[in-house]
Structure 1
Amino acid sequence: MHKDENDGVPEASRDGVTAAAGANVPADGSDAGTNEAVPAPAAVRLKRFTGHGKSVRGTSVRGTVAGLASAVVIVAAAGSLVAAASMAPQSAGSRKLEAPLAAVPAGSNVGICPGPARLLEGTPVGTDPQFSPESATARSLVDAAVLSTNAGVLPGSRLAELNGAALTEIAKDPGTPTAAAGPAPLLAGVVSQRAVDSVSVLSADAVGNQQATAGAVMSYTATDGDLQGSAAAGCQQPANDLWLVGANTALGRTSVLNLSNASSTPATVSLDLYGAQGQIQAPGSRGLLVAPGTTRSIVLAGLVPDQEKLSIHARSAGGPVTAVVQQSTLRGLTPGGVDFIVPGVAPATRQVMSGVDIQDPASARSLAAKQGFADAAPALQIAVPGPADAVVEIKLYGRDGQKALPGGGVVTAKGGSVTEVSLAGVPAGQYTVAASADVSFAAAARVTRGLKSDSATDFAWSPSSARLGSQHVVAVPRSGERYLVLGAPDDRAKITYTPITADGKLRAAATADLAGGTTALVKVPDEVGGAPVLGYVVSAAGDAAYGAVLLEQEGRADVATVAVAPGAAGQEQVAVKLGY
């Protein structure tokens, strides 16, 4: 709290000084001033000097002159005091202060990996789910990498359960780092194909006030059961504000929202739900308590049933959380796929999604025309949180440039609701989708696989992602066909990708030079230098570029996508405001 400059002056004295300061007294001591208040303070001072409270007429002329001179001096001194005070720093109530910036030490890099996909068995109480065992062939694996510092020091890092129980120690705490003679070769601490049966947490400690660079992915595959297919999700950093696009609670579709809290502070989560007809006020969507070290699962159909297009804005008060929707489809007795829907970037006037794989357009159109298969085709969903409608322009960029979207690619998305735009009709291939509008919106693109109605199909949602920077750790699962999909929607970009192998080595880097308005596909090899490839360190230069990992299984209709997560942050500065 700021103190007034005159806080040490008694209230009565402060009033007297203010009155005297307002007087206009000529230099010769006459009463020619224009301020009527001059005689009063002067008389007060004269009485004090004469030693009595009566009139001054009985005093000598010499005493009167001396008294007047003294009064003038006192008035002038008071004026000087106020003038000086006016030039001194003023109180907080009279001037605006900029909030100072305070350096905040870098914290641990924490990524929360979703648990395995589980088959929903029932909801005996409200929206709380009950799960049955997964299929006999289901596998849930975590792959992760933590980079060393420039001095070649691996940060203290580990993979643990959400409740803190250790799973794998990656590297011990190196202690206080010492000054290195020069840059050392980068190394990586790795976790390769670690089986998990619940939510897990990758954490890497800061070293030298720099946040560790790390990344992880959880992958799920099953070849039998109602949840057959592939799903994958990057292990995400907790936050207090999250947007998820792509949920579906219609008949045959199951959406389970999993909220995980890895902090030591309870989290109270509120959900804003948006459907095709506008925002939905759902009882039970506010004040959801997520205790520290726990996951709370919510069956979304219990809140908002029969919503084919559903977007979720999750806001947490207290501890930060992660949010992931386990989405699955069952068309009669035929599995329609499984996926983990993860948050994209916050609403903005431009959103970019990579890793959008489109099948043969004629076959996809034929499948989507069948009863119950409307969501088996590629599409873009747009959620506009504000009341104003959004005029959205959609562009698709392939290997050889932009491809026109049938219908022109310009749509109007209603404010406060979710709009779906079909991406069918463009040639088969891998694309980067860029959407721009005049108001902010959130978005995600649906990727589908499988073209026969009597066989299992699969789907994945590619969320909007942030622009690539430097040193993104992109972990990839060890099995299946794996691709890096890199896009430069506007102008030329150069992307460097350095393989990380399971033995902790960083191999020779390669570079992709992307022309503006194109997408590049990089197939991830099984091995480099005789060791399995676990991931990449990805860095970008030039114009804005975006990336995702596309996962498929040879001979199967499996598909999954994982957007490249933002890179690690160093020491940050935040505005600090003091007050009540």
Structure 2
Amino acid sequence: MSDRRVFRWATTSARLLAGTIVSAVAVIAVVTAVSVPWPTLTRTPVSIAAVPAPATSVAACAGGVLSIGRDVADVESISVAVAQRVISGVSEGAQPAQETTLEVPGLAPDEGPAVFASPPEGRQRVDVAATGAATVTADDLAGFAASACRPPLLESWLVGGSAETGAADLVLLSNPGVVPATVQLTVFGAEGAQTPPGGTDLVVAAGTQLVVPLAGLVIGEASPVVRVSAVGAPVSAWLQASITRTLTPGGVEQVGAIPEPAAAQTITGVAVTRTPGTEGASDAATVLRVLAPSSDATATITVTPIGRDEPAIDPEVVPLVGGRPVEVDLGGLPVGSYSVEVDADSPVVAAVWQTTGFEEGDDFAWYTPSPLVSVPSLFAVPSGPPPALTLVNPADEPAEVAVTSEDGSYRLELAVPANGSLTARLSARTVYLLDPGESEIRASLSLTAGGSLAGIPVWPADAASPEIVVYP
């Protein structure tokens, strides 16, 4: 081997050794870099938390009891059979609510329903509550009707009434806003959901109430449920229900709307005032109407006396066909006050029809579900029969509830047992604050005396505007 070849071999070996050492050092450096924490720079994004200014609180009323067809020259004309007497109030220390009157086509300017509005004060929401009542005695209408004034909604549900012979039911649509609303009425009945021509693209002008005869939508339907869908502006909806049996008026009611379907519906304070008739009687005094609007479902119906733990009758399991209302006879209940619970495996809407009897001078009421109240909420008690407040506690812990009159002169503290209920007597023509404390409670008003009957659920106050976070 020559000196040149020896030198070339030596230099090559040196380069290989150096490369191997460099590679090993690189591997060690990478492993070390991965395993050893590197210094980091953390910067919190700039954010601004703000609470939007609350909106004006609005409560629109149903208005007086209406009669249709009294003018023989215009059988479709409406008139006010009796005006509504309204009680209203606002949050403690706030200015009185601003009262206006909606216009109703065919009625005098001062005959429309009232609207109460309370703007915020000092960026604080002002709650407003109002309730109206009317007693009518006439050849074509008779009975006691009471209903709470409600905020407008983009969608609501009316469960009650009939379009059969003898019924003269009216859908009332109020727009207390400043822009027109376009409303679609979808009627659910024996044939499923229908959008009749008379309920399509109804324009409710700002500051007006539109009256739509239910029979003009689905004549002959025995158990309708109406979905009210609005665009452009929300509307407040009611159903005025009345019945005449062989020329004898059998009662009148203003049925309030249900905000949305839910898998669990609780109807509280159902007042049974009539001793059950003989077994097999054709007329049912207590009837539940329930609808699963979207899909087939199974519902369990439980009726429990207020103040008791055990059901009054065995729970009943009812199959529901999507889009078709079902009526369940709850007859046989002794005189007393009850809570009716509907538990389904899909969202439903429901209401209970109760009557004092089927003779002249009797009345009926539609009881709608009571939503959960978790914040201090105002409610107004109208004039009429002695009012009773029913409280239902769905929780496993007792609820401490306070009921205070608007002027602070009366305060009632109630302990509602876990999974229990109770009833308390209140005064008519008074505004109260219901404070559930740390609990959630369901509440309703029942007004009954003689042949008069009405029920009004207590709704929670509008939720305050939540805090929002802005990232500039």
| TM-score calculated relative to the size of structure 2 | 0.82
Q: Deviations over 1:121-155 (max 9, x none)?
A: 179999x9412452xxx45200011123xxxx423
Matched, 1:521 2:423: yes
Pairwise CA distance, 1:279: 1.5
Query: Aligned ranges for residues 121-160 of structure 1 at < 5 Å?
Result: 121=69, 129-132=76-79, 134=81, 138-148=82-92, 153-155=93-95, 157-160=97-100
Q: Which residue of 1 aligns with 2:290?
A: 382
Which residue type is aligned with residue 319 of structure 1?
Answer: A
User: In terms of mean alpha carbon deviation, does 377-386 or 481-490 score higher?
Assistant: 481-490
CA contact (8 A) 2:297 2:345 kept: yes
Query: Aligned ranges for residues 2-81 of structure 1 at < 5 Å?
Result: none
Pairwise CA distance, 1:487: 1.5
Q: Distance in 2 between matches of 1:123 and 1:242?
A: 32
Q: Distance in 1 between matches of 2:215 and 2:467?
A: 42
Pairwise CA distance, 1:162: 2.0
Which residue type is aligned with residue 465 of structure 2?
Answer: Q
Q: Distance in 1 between matches of 2:96 and 2:465?
A: 18
Q: Which residue of 1 aligns with 2:464?
A: 570
1:478 aligned to which of 375, 379, 383:
383
Pairwise CA distance, 1:389: 1.5
- Higher gyration radius (CA): 1
Which residue type is aligned with residue 567 of structure 1?
Answer: A
User: In terms of mean alpha carbon deviation, does 418-427 or 258-267 score higher?
Assistant: 418-427
Matched, 1:104 2:10: no
CA contact (8 A) 1:156 1:205 kept: no
Q: Distance in 1 between matches of 2:274 and 2:465?
A: 48
Indicate the SS of the match to 1:301.
Answer: helix
Q: Which residue of 2 aligns with 1:41?
A: none
CA contact (8 A) 2:52 2:467 kept: yes
CA contact (8 A) 1:214 1:568 kept: no
Pairwise CA distance, 1:514: 1.5
User: In terms of mean alpha carbon deviation, does 219-228 or 292-301 score higher?
Assistant: 219-228
Pairwise CA distance, 1:433: 1.6
Q: Distance in 1 between matches of 2:405 and 2:50?
A: 37
User: In terms of mean alpha carbon deviation, does 225-234 or 515-524 score higher?
Assistant: 515-524
Q: Which residue of 1 aligns with 2:452?
A: 558
Pairwise CA distance, 1:569: 2.5
Judging changes above 3 Å, is the alpha-carbon distance between structure 1 residues 407 and 521 closer, same or farther for their aligned structure 2 residues?
Answer: closer
Q: Distance in 2 between matches of 1:282 and 1:478?
A: 38
1:255 aligned to which of 154, 159, 169:
169
Indicate the SS of the match to 1:337.
Answer: strand
Q: Distance in 2 between matches of 1:346 and 1:575?
A: 29
Q: Distance in 2 between matches of 1:480 and 1:281?
A: 39
Q: Which residue of 1 aligns with 2:436?
A: 540
Which residue type is aligned with residue 390 of structure 1?
Answer: A
Indicate the SS of the match to 2:65.
Answer: coil
2:399 aligned to which of 483, 489, 493:
493
Q: Distance in 2 between matches of 1:490 and 1:394?
A: 19
Q: Distance in 2 between matches of 1:479 and 1:156?
A: 24
Judging changes above 3 Å, is the alpha-carbon distance between structure 1 residues 454 and 550 closer, same or farther for their aligned structure 2 residues?
Answer: closer
Judging changes above 3 Å, is the alpha-carbon distance between structure 1 residues 395 and 543 closer, same or farther for their aligned structure 2 residues?
Answer: farther
CA contact (8 A) 1:347 1:441 kept: yes
CA contact (8 A) 2:250 2:359 kept: no
Query: Aligned ranges for residues 110-509 of structure 1 at < 5 Å?
Result: 110-121=58-69, 129-132=76-79, 134=81, 138-148=82-92, 153-155=93-95, 157-162=97-102, 197-363=111-277, 369-370=281-282, 373-374=283-284, 377-386=285-294, 388-404=295-311, 406=313, 408-450=315-357, 453-491=358-396, 492-500=398-406, 505-509=407-411
CA contact (8 A) 2:198 2:216 kept: no
CA contact (8 A) 2:309 2:420 kept: yes
CA contact (8 A) 2:304 2:339 kept: yes
Q: Distance in 2 between matches of 1:268 and 1:360?
A: 42
Q: Distance in 2 between matches of 1:298 and 1:122?
A: 16
Q: Distance in 2 between matches of 1:482 and 1:159?
A: 25
Q: Distance in 1 between matches of 2:467 and 2:189?
A: 38
CA contact (8 A) 1:395 1:402 kept: no
Indicate the SS of the match to 1:385.
Answer: coil
Judging changes above 3 Å, is the alpha-carbon distance between structure 1 residues 315 and 359 closer, same or farther for their aligned structure 2 residues?
Answer: same
Pairwise CA distance, 1:520: 1.2
Pairwise CA distance, 1:544: 3.6
Pairwise CA distance, 1:437: 0.8
CA contact (8 A) 1:345 1:464 kept: no
Which residue type is aligned with residue 207 of structure 1?
Answer: E
User: In terms of mean alpha carbon deviation, does 491-500 or 261-270 score higher?
Assistant: 491-500
Q: Distance in 2 between matches of 1:574 and 1:542?
A: 24
Pairwise CA distance, 1:573: 5.3
Q: Distance in 2 between matches of 1:518 and 1:117?
A: 36
Pairwise CA distance, 1:102: 7.7
CA contact (8 A) 1:215 1:473 kept: yes
CA contact (8 A) 2:89 2:96 kept: no
Q: Distance in 2 between matches of 1:279 and 1:329?
A: 24
Q: Distance in 2 between matches of 1:206 and 1:517?
A: 37
Indicate the SS of the match to 2:365.
Answer: strand
Judging changes above 3 Å, is the alpha-carbon distance between structure 1 residues 282 and 479 closer, same or farther for their aligned structure 2 residues?
Answer: closer
Percentage identity across paired residues of the two chains: 27
Can you give the 5+ residue segments of structure 1 that lack an aligned partner in the other structure?
Answer: 1-99, 165-195, 527-532
Indicate the SS of the match to 2:325.
Answer: strand
Pairwise CA distance, 1:418: 0.6
Indicate the SS of the match to 2:276.
Answer: helix
Judging changes above 3 Å, is the alpha-carbon distance between structure 1 residues 115 and 223 closer, same or farther for their aligned structure 2 residues?
Answer: same
Q: Which residue of 1 aligns with 2:19?
A: none
Indicate the SS of the match to 1:253.
Answer: coil
CA contact (8 A) 1:431 1:519 kept: no
**Structure 1 consecutive aligned stretches of length 4 or more whose deviation exceeds 4 Å:** 100-103, 122-126, 573-576
| TM-score calculated relative to the size of structure 1 | 0.67
Q: Distance in 1 between matches of 2:466 and 2:76?
A: 40
Q: Distance in 2 between matches of 1:240 and 1:124?
A: 36
Q: Deviations over 1:414-473 (max 9, x none)?
A: 1111111122223321112221111111111222213xx442321111111210122211
Q: Distance in 2 between matches of 1:344 and 1:449?
A: 24
CA contact (8 A) 1:495 1:513 kept: yes
Can you give the 5+ residue segments of structure 2 that lack an aligned partner in the other structure?
Answer: 1-47, 105-109
Q: Distance in 1 between matches of 2:191 and 2:255?
A: 21
